[in-house]
Amino acid sequence: MNLKIALLAGDGIGPEVIDQAVKVSNAIAKKFNHRIKWSSALTGAAAIDALGDPYPEKTHEVCLAADAVLFGAIGHPRFDNDPSAKVRPEQGLLKMRQKLGLFANIRPTFTFPSLLDKSPLKQVRIKGTDLVFLRELTGGIYFGERGRLDNGNTAFDTCKYTREEIKRLAKKGFELAMTRSKKLCCVDKANVLESSRLWRETVQIMEKEYPEVEVSYEFVDAVAMRLVQWPNTYDVLITENLFGDILTDEASVISGSMGLMPSASVGTENALYEPIHGSFPQATGLGIANPLATVLSAAMMFEMSFGLTEEGALIRKVVDQSLAAGIVTEDLKENGEKGNSTSEVGDYLVSMILG
């Protein structure tokens, strides 16, 4: 098979972890006789420096021309503490999501048997956790009207959703639930917010089309609590943009390291795969970044964009092997023990694929 993949390494540790995902993907291509054509493009702070735009038109064209996009991370501390900065790397991320129509952000959280003791939560609580968040990604308060009033002394952001936006996200949730344990949780704040009431109303109507799916409706504050109490009681969760942003960071803690969790952002035409961790600027260039989240994002890409399930499964298998063998970066090592470098982990995965 010919695979055309756009490569957006981005900022911070992005390029280092992307390098490992490329090595692993190339090894998979070699083993299964595929041809990958990579095309790289600039995003984030790197793109601001070069072209003054965190998601330049040229990059957008590269993404449109590809079958899938593999993305590292965006963000640079240079912009974080400068409220006057006119362009910010994160704006590139939002622009990219919107222009590529990536309305559904799929963020799985699962545990690895060999890492159960790495989680700050008790093993009995997290054992068997295998849940997926579907976060709405191109609407809500992230994209609503915002501004300042009263000479800058009052600020507002608006959370707005259309029934269509909710429906297309919820449809993906129902479909995913049908392939799993047929349990769907709609996370909202319908006791307070009108937009949440529209979410609930819309999902309640859709329920009738999926009689096999057992739907629960829970308030976001209660989910935030139950997520750390009994995460293994959840399966598929659907929610709006901001709630999803917050809850998926919370959920990532369950697995033991943020460096482990992959994600996919999909729309009707395009798909992008990225680790859920950020650009981790303090670690840039030190070779300590955990590449597994990006490698697992590549596995999701093989499966979801190309239907190559055997390839995805092999990536997951070698990731499990690296964890079991302790060929891992320092975030997964016991106190003080030196970790393997980012590229050593990548090399080990490649050797297990081709070996």
Give me the least distance between CB of 288 and Mg ion, in Å please: 21
User: CA 118 to CA 255: how far, in whole Å?
Assistant: 8
Q: Report how far apart, in Å, the C-alpha atoms of 74 and of each of 11, 80, 239, 278, 342 are.
A: 5, 12, 23, 7, 18
Q: Which residue in the shown chain puts its C-beta closest to ligand IPM? A: 90
Q: How many H helices and E strands in the chain?
A: 13, 12
* Least distance (Å) between residue 157 CB and ligand IPM: 13
Report, in Å, the least distance between residue 90 CB and ligand IPM.
4
Of 53, 245, 274, 311, the residue at the interface with Mg ion (CB under 5 A) is 245
Show the site string, 114-153: x = touches ligand IPM by CB under 6 A, - = not.
----------------------------------------
User: Among residues 67, 249, 320, 347, which one is catalytic?
Assistant: 249
Whether 249 sits among the annotated catalytic residues: the reply is yes
Least CB distance from residue 269 to Mg ion, whole Å? 24
What is the chain's alpha carbon radius of gyration, rounded to the nearest angstrom?
20
For residue 132, CA distances in Å to 29, 212, 231, 252 come to 28, 18, 11, 11
Of the candidates 120, 79, 237, 235, which has an alpha carbon nearest to the alpha carbon of residue 172? 237
Dist CA 71 CA 49 (whole Å): 18
- Which CB atom, from 103 or from 348, has the smaller least distance to Mg ion? 103
H-state helical runs in 273-308: 292-306
Which of 119, 96, 131, 112 has its CA nearest to residue 273? 96
Count of residues near ligand IPM by CB under 6 A: 3
Q: How far apart are CA 344 and CA 141, in angstroms?
A: 41
**CB closer to ligand IPM out of 93 and 134:** 93
**Nearest to 348, CA basis, from 80, 339, 303:** 339
Q: Which pair of structure tokens corresponds to residue 94?
A: 């939002």
Number of amino acids touching Mg ion (CB under 5 A): 1
Closer CB to Mg ion, residue 116 or residue 220? 220
Residues 72-91 that bind ligand IPM (CB under 6 A): 90
Say how far apart CA 96 and CA 313 lie, in whole Å.
Answer: 29
> Which 228-267 residues touch ligand IPM, going by CB under 6 A?
245
Spot the catalytic one: 23, 118, 172, 189.
Answer: 189
Q: What is the nearest approach in angstroms of ligand IPM to the Cβ of residue 76?
A: 11
Residue at token pair 């344990």: 181
Question: Which two structure tokens, joined as six digits, stand for 58?
Answer: 């040229």
189 is annotated as an active-site residue: yes
Active-site residue flag, 49 = no
Of 93, 134, 283, 323, the residue at the interface with ligand IPM (CB under 6 A) is 93
Instruction: Indicate if 331 belongs to the active site.
Output: no
Binding at 93: pick from Mg ion, ligand IPM, none (beta carbon under 5-8 Å per type): ligand IPM
320 and 348 Cβ atoms separated by less than 8 Å: no
Minimum distance, C-beta of residue 142 to ligand IPM, in the bound complex (Å): 7
Q: Which of 53, 188, 235, 245 is catalytic?
A: 245
Residues that bind Mg ion (CB under 5 A): 245
Residues that bind ligand IPM (CB under 6 A): 90, 93, 245
Which residues are annotated as catalytic?
A: 142, 189, 221, 245, 249
